[in-house]
Structure 1
Amino acid sequence: MTCPALIVHSRDDARVPVAQAPELATLILDSRLVLLESRNRLFTADDPAWPGFLTHLYNFLSE
């Protein structure tokens, strides 16, 4: 059995290199990777990446 997973990562994350995101995605069956233009690890409503984050999240949850 698999469970879909949404992996969201900031392209400019200073702590976790963006190169690790695709590696993680290959290890999780049925995962989808989304890279957002941000430096933040957590997205808040004042982050320019927020609308994109919400769009990807809503689309993922509606499938």
Structure 2
Amino acid sequence: MGAELLLNIAPGIGGRMNEGQHLFHMDLLLLCILLLGGVGVVFNVIAGALEHRLLRWRIP
């Protein structure tokens, strides 16, 4: 998920990371990395809850 964001130069998380990298703003870079990690965790929790709800019939 993160690779396509890093290649993007448009405004967004990937663009901010690119800007922080080129201008040596480590605080901006670390904030973007933590934000991407948080988004990944949220998506993982949502996918797990959806899987649990949709596959209730399956024996674990």
Higher percent of residues as strand: 1
When Rg is computed on C-alpha atoms for both structures, the one with the higher figure is 2
Normalised to the residue count of structure 2, the TM-score between the two structures is 0.35
Higher percent of residues as helix: 2
